[in-house]
Every structure is written in C-alpha cells, then in structure tokens.
Amino acid sequence: MKKISIISVLIASLLIAYCSSSTSNNSHNGSINITNPSDGDIITNIFTKVEADVSTKNSEIKVEFAIDNIVYKIDSIAPYSYDWHNFYWADGNAHSIKVTAHDSESWWAHDSISVTVSEEAGTHPTVISPADSSVYTVGDSITFSWNSLPEASQYFIEFSQLKNDNRGTVFDTVYTTSFIESGNYSWKLQAENYGLESDFSPEYYFSILE
C-alpha cells in the first residue's frame, strides 16, 4: 500500500510540474498588445483600424480579432490589423475588442480592451434611384438602387403606404418591382451584417398614378 501511495504522489508531482511548465511557456514566450484603439476610447468614426503588436520569437503566428467575443478576422501577416466597420455597432454602448495570438506549438497570448461606439458612428446605404418625389403609373417597372456598405450580407427595403408597411430582403444593391395600386408611397432601407444592422436611410417618396 505504501508503494502505491508513493507512486501516486510521484505521478501527481510530475503532472503538476508539467502543467506549470506549459502555463509558464504560454506566458513567457511572448506577448500581444492592442496598439489602436486605446482602452476606454469613444469612437465616433464609421471605421476603425484595430492594430496589434506581437512580441515573440515563435514563427507562423496567427492573430484573431474578436468583437464582443465573436472572431471577425484571422491575420497571419505582420503588421497585424483588422479593418473594423464599427458603424454596425453604433449604439452608444461599450464593446469589447480582443486579440489572441497563437502558433502551431500551442503558445498563445491575448489582450483585450473596451471601447464605446457612439451613435454618431452610424451610417446607412446611400440611395441612387429613384429620385425623391418621382411619379409613375400603375404597372410601371421601378428600379430601386443604392450604394453598397462594407461587409453587408443583405439589405432590408421597406415600403410604406399610409399605415401599411411591406418589408423585404434583398441580397443585391438593386431591386425592381411594380405596384398595382395607385397612391403615395415612401421607402427606406438598411444594411445587415449577419445579425448586425446599419442605420436606416432617410425616407424617400414616390407616387403611383392610375
């Protein structure tokens, strides 16, 4: 029984030593720091270049850029950066930026900060056509078009006539349709980035005559 106990103690000691060594390697083989933006910044622009500096002798480094714990880019070429179109997060609240560096030898390091994305940082798709207050007749083919927004996966276009709203999803920057009822209409749109939304565009008006 004593031999078994001694062996168990030795095995446990070796495991503790191994785990301590692994943690030590991860913490001492290098570091990563977010150099832009700074912790606590209030962002008012629609775009921010997130930059990170990695200090390590390890090779084949990959750097993950995460916003609110969701990874949006993996960069393997220094200098490491992510073009963050933060207008999708423009809600006046705090959001986390986390960068994690790792290599093929199980080394890793990370850094994180918190920034506030002001509502001023919001933007919306720019309408190209039709011109505001355009006039058509029932059955006319009308093409609605707008400029794309970066990283938009789809667009929501919303038509209104009095109290009746009709909202549709468009995967391009052009939408063609016709109307079978006369009346005064308005329309607006916003971009979506996989669950995140831009601001709505201003509302534009058009009329359908008999």
Confidence category of residue 8, pLDDT binned at 50, 70, 90: very low
Confidence category of residue 64, pLDDT binned at 50, 70, 90: very high
Q: Where are the domains of the chain?
A: 30-121, 127-209
- Residues 31, 210: Cα–Cα separation, whole Å: 70
Looking at domain 30-121, its CATH class is: mainly beta
Under a CB-based contact definition with an 8 Å cutoff, are residues 58 and 31 in contact?
no
Confidence category of residue 162, pLDDT binned at 50, 70, 90: low
Q: Across all residues in the chain, what is the average pLDDT? A: 87
- Residues 84, 46: Cα–Cα separation, whole Å: 9
Domain 127-209 has CATH 2.30.30.90: no
- Pick the closest to residue 149 from 81, 198, 92 (CA basis): 198
Q: What does DSSP assign to residue 28?
A: H
Taking every pair of Cα atoms in the chain, the longest distance, rounded to a whole number of angstroms, is 100
Record the pTM.
0.80
Which is more confident, 69 or 107?
69
Mean pLDDT of 130-149: 97
pLDDT for the residue 106: 84
- Residues 49, 65: Cα–Cα separation, whole Å: 11
Question: Tokens standing for 112?
Answer: 């994180």
Confidence category of residue 18, pLDDT binned at 50, 70, 90: very low
Amino acid identity for residue 36 in this structure: N
**pLDDT score of 159 more than 60:** yes
Question: Tokens standing for 176?
Answer: 């063609």
One fold for 30-121 and 127-209: yes
Confidence category of residue 190, pLDDT binned at 50, 70, 90: very high
